[in-house]
Structure 1
Amino acid sequence: MRVAMISMHTSPLQQPGSGDAGGMNVYVLNTARELARQGVEVDIFTRATRPSQGEVVDVEKGLRVINIVAGPYDGLEKEALPTQLAAFAGGVVQFHRCNDVDYDLIHSHYWLSGQVGWLLRDLWEVPLVHTAHTLAAVKNAHRGDDDSPESEARRICEQQLVDNAEVLVVNTQEETLDLIDHYDADPDRIAVVTPGTDTALFTPGTDRNTERSRRLLGIPLDAELVAFVGRLQQFKGPQVLIRATAEMLRRNPERKLRVIICGGASGAATTERQYMNLAAELGVSRRVRFLDPRPPEELVTIYQAADIVAVPSYNESFGLVAMEAQACGTPVVAARVGGLPVAVSEGETGVLVDGHDTGDWADALENLLDDDDTRLRMATDAVQHAANFSWSNSAAQLAAVYAEALSLEVDNCPQRRERAEGL
């Protein structure tokens, strides 16, 4: 089987936590790698952002990233990407024609890619599998007061994909309900494929590892450390953690609390400085450190050094940061939204907080920091919980979804019938 994955607006090779790169990048790259290792050939089409990358990047056997030139390399905000849909689709068609390569199926990620996938589905007469990752209607329902709403144009495009894709892949049952409630999706065309984590990379730290990680980060060994990993945008909630930090220190100024916020600004209206300014306004600048985005190999150091990882998002389709932290043996305090109640086993591997009230978040973090026995028990249970989620299993589930998609409506399309019989 050969699959064309489409990830137009962000490359799976881009550093997660910077710009628009995040959990989706991790998901696309890791599922594609595991699919390739299981015998499915995968080409990921993405928009070129650097001329030095070249058109084709061989990631590993059976997996390539194809960089399509569509618009300028630099300076194109995500909000302007819809203007490049035709150019991007044309680039994919040209690559397909010039390289004499045929695909059995298209898997698009995010609504921009879905619009391209919808066009190519009809040109190539192959099934379209679509993963939204986030949905406009859901983001608007959960957005913070300071967040800009998602456009009606995006919601309409998402509705078109819900109506036209052969299969809609979601991360959790919660997303299934979102598609049904907000987009009137047919539940028979929705497949739940749970994401995974790299448990070979994200591993629990020993006391020695924790001490080494803290030394590398310049964190005192006797400090209480809470970490946030992700893009710096209101929707991800770093401001929630900063305000909760100020509240905990207001209650107890002698508390040896430190906070690390690791990530880059996301969106045209967001800068790292605004979160630094918030910390300064609340008088906690000396307690909160901001780190640039870093590769997964270096995130392990942060997870192992932390007592708690906070995930105060306003919505998450799953919560890969929460799973990575747990794989490293670090309990999680997360918002009770989206897929986070699946990623975090409440009371066993972490704590779920209703809403984003500053006092409630301060209470949750404070209670867990003060309860060493519970926190250490959760650390042990978190590793076992994360072990149940693997990218290999996610890829196997996807391969089964692909096989099922190839069998749909084959009687109405001779080319599809030939492909299904050949596979």
Structure 2
Amino acid sequence: MTTTQGSTRRVGLIAVHTSPLAQAGTGDAGGLNVYVDHTARGLADRGIAVDVFTRRPSADVPATVTVADGLRVHHIDAGPASAPKSALASHLCAFYLGLAAHPAAAQVDVFHGHYWMSGWVGARARRKLGTPLVQTFHTLARQKNASLAPGDTPEPPLRLAAESRIATDADAIIAPTPHESAFLRREMGAVDVHVVEPGVDLSVFNPRADRAWAPDLLNPERDAKVLLFVGRLQPLKGPDTAVRTLAALTRDAAPDDPPLRLVLVGGPSGNGHGVVDPPGLLALAAELGVADRVGFLSPRGHEDLAALYRAADVVLMPSHSESFGLVALEAQACGTPVVATDVGGLRHVLGRVEGVEGGGTLVADHDPKAFAGAVRPYLSDPDLAAAAAARGQRRARSFTWQATVDKTLEVYDDVLARGRSAAHGADRAPVARGACA
């Protein structure tokens, strides 16, 4: 264990809608879960006591789970356990009241909200307890609404208003890229914004091939080229574009080209049910004549996921919006070229940053022909694929969770050096009025 020399001794991480204990890729669990989990463990390893506050997902989950020395996850009752993410705004008052009354909440030095609902709760707790709030949005409604997938649902006015208020009321904001930092300052009036990039665990995500089953699982024919999609099956992530890309590549293939296969790793999420869930995607694949070329795998833990990355030829990320893009970073660390949409954080993860080029190709739009054109060279030119793999590995080495935690701690210490926020927030209007005032 490494001890910290700063002023932060205890941190409260708020993750209302999903727990770091949940498997990424299932339900609403994704990059946020991975981020909170690694940050919490890294802080605890530095001698910081960490309390994670999240919503109770089922009646049989213990009130508190001790994950490691100094790291506890507390489950707060807030609405029915089965309530979908889209309904949780109605239960934020209950979550806030549960958190404010929790004995651990009164002991933390700083709250760190993850996602807008957690920021809403943290802002109220900040006023009640006088505890500073650091906020990470993970996704922003304004950016998501500006690039909606076909059939996707716009984020509601409530979220837009809440994010705008949190951006100006939080004591500090952590953004994953300079692009999001600039957006928060320019479009949302945020002042104290710090760029802290997420990391990748290079002890897990690396080019070492140590899972012999992975090629057979992805490619039972052994002679096919494999395209891999990893993520929640929802319109935002564009799994339908992945299927259409497979069809475009198959349609234009030469007679002597190896067969192609697309494997999607993840589960349906949100409004993806009945649209881009496995039955919906298989129906699309059948319509395009490639149903026999498409396979599905359930979400996997990091060790197994790394093996799947290594066994694939190209990883597809046709997202309509990404705050960062951990999948692209993990795939690059494993030496697999990535073809992704040129949006948000993907531009930062795959593009040239500080002279280091990413290991893949950015595509300007969601045209399957454009995606196919970007994928094809990696399938046909081994030297090009090897060069991209080497670039990706170099790029990934510049992102570590150790650096993420170190920089996050610096933000906490800076906020605490400016004093607790009871007086700072006393003259501000409430975040909302009503039952949980």
Give TM-score scaled by structure 1 length: 0.92
Could you tell me whether the CA contact under 8 Å between 2:233 and 2:272 is conserved in 1?
no
RMSD (Å), alpha carbons:
2.0
1:267 to 262, 266, 270: 270
Could you tell me whether the CA contact under 8 Å between 1:50 and 1:73 is conserved in 2?
yes
Cα distance, 1:210–1:69 mapped onto 2, change above 3 Å: closer
Could you tell me whether the CA contact under 8 Å between 2:199 and 2:401 is conserved in 1?
yes
SS in 1 for 2:344: coil
Partner of 2:225: 224
Partner of 1:166: 171
Shift of 1:413: 4.4
CA distance in 2, matches of 1:224, 1:269: 27
Partner of 1:280: 286
Shift of 1:104: 0.5
Could you tell me whether the CA contact under 8 Å between 1:313 and 1:334 is conserved in 2?
yes
Cα distance, 1:69–1:343 mapped onto 2, change above 3 Å: same
Q: Is 1:311–2:330 an aligned residue pair?
A: no
Cα distance, 1:412–1:235 mapped onto 2, change above 3 Å: closer
2:206 to 190, 203, 206: 203
Partner of 2:132: 127
Shift of 1:91: 1.2
Partner of 1:45: 53
SS in 2 for 1:64: strand
Amino acid corresponding to residue 309 of structure 2 in structure 1: Y
CA distance in 2, matches of 1:121, 1:279: 50
Partner of 1:184: 189
Q: Give the 5 Å matches for 1:82-101.
A: 82-96=89-103, 101=106
1:339 to 325, 335, 345: 345
Shift of 1:184: 2.6
Could you tell me whether the CA contact under 8 Å between 2:219 and 2:226 is conserved in 1?
no
- Between the two proteins, what is the percent identity of the paired residues? 41
Partner of 2:365: 355
Partner of 2:428: none
Could you tell me whether the CA contact under 8 Å between 2:171 and 2:415 is conserved in 1?
yes
Partner of 1:249: 250
Could you tell which deviates more after superposition, 335-344 or 396-405?
Answer: 335-344
CA distance in 1, matches of 2:241, 2:272: 18
2:111 to 106, 111, 115: 106
Partner of 1:19: 27
Amino acid corresponding to residue 162 of structure 2 in structure 1: C
Partner of 1:8: 16
SS in 2 for 1:9: coil
CA distance in 2, matches of 1:360, 1:104: 50
Deviations 1:125-154 (A, max 9, x none): 121100111011100011123211111111
Could you tell me whether the CA contact under 8 Å between 2:232 and 2:266 is conserved in 1?
yes
Q: Which structure dedicates a bigger proportion of its chain to helix?
A: 1
Shift of 1:250: 0.9
Deviations 1:55-98 (A, max 9, x none): 11111111111011111222x111110111111111112222xx
SS in 1 for 2:223: coil
CA distance in 1, matches of 2:393, 2:212: 19
Q: Where do 5+ consecutive residues of structure 1 fail to align?
A: 415-423
CA distance in 1, matches of 2:254, 2:52: 51
CA distance in 2, matches of 1:168, 1:100: 20
Shift of 1:293: 1.4
Amino acid corresponding to residue 388 of structure 2 in structure 1: M
Q: Where do 5+ consecutive residues of structure 2 fail to align?
A: 1-8, 425-437
Q: Is 1:326–2:336 an aligned residue pair?
A: no
Cα distance, 1:172–1:32 mapped onto 2, change above 3 Å: same
Partner of 2:141: 136
Instruction: Count the aligned residue pairs.
Output: 409
SS in 2 for 1:95: coil
Give TM-score scaled by structure 2 length: 0.89
